[in-house]
């Protein structure tokens, strides 16, 4: 679960960096360019990792309660909870990034190859 939460954060940061790089490349070329597949991969990867982290936490907690296992204490209880909270916050952020990636791709597809700069 911590690995999934950290993966979601890394994919989110990568997606933001790729978006900035895409805008920079379009501005430098002064024309619309297609959104690279890596942008989609990082956006969907972040969403998948964040939702998987929340789902794994829920399944493990449920199995632990159902099996009658003793609840852990100390860092073994608050650390996974901290990571699932982070993953829970990343779910809407990564979903927004996926939506914005598709919005950017549709805008680019409508204007593909057209000049971006005036003059």
Express each pLDDT in 43-72 by its tens digit.
Answer: 999 999 999 999 998 888 888 777 776 666
Let me know: does 23 contact 100? Beta carbons within 8 Å. no
Q: Residue 41 pLDDT > 60, yes or no?
A: yes
- What is residue 64's predicted lDDT score, i.e. its pLDDT? 75
- What pTM was estimated for this model as a whole? 0.85
**Cβ distance 16 to 39 under 8 Å?**
no
SS3 helix, strand, coil % of the chain, rounded to 5? 80, 0, 20
Residue 79 confidence (pLDDT): 83
Q: What pLDDT is recorded for position 70?
A: 65
């Amino acid at each position: 679960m911590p690995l999934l939460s950290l993966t979601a954060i890394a994919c989110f940061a990568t997606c933001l960096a790729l978006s900035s790089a895409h805008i920079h490349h379009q501005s430098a070329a002064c024309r619309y360019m297609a959104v690279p597949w890596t942008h989609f991969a990082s956006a969907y990867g972040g969403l998948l990792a964040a939702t998987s982290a929340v789902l794994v936490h829920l399944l493990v907690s449920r199995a632990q309660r159902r099996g009658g296992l003793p609840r852990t204490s100390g860092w073994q209880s608050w650390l996974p909870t901290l990571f699932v909270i982070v993953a829970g916050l990343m779910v809407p952020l990564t979903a927004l990034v996926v939506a914005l990636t598709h919005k950017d791709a549709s805008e680019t597809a409508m204007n593909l190859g057209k000049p971006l700069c005036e003059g």
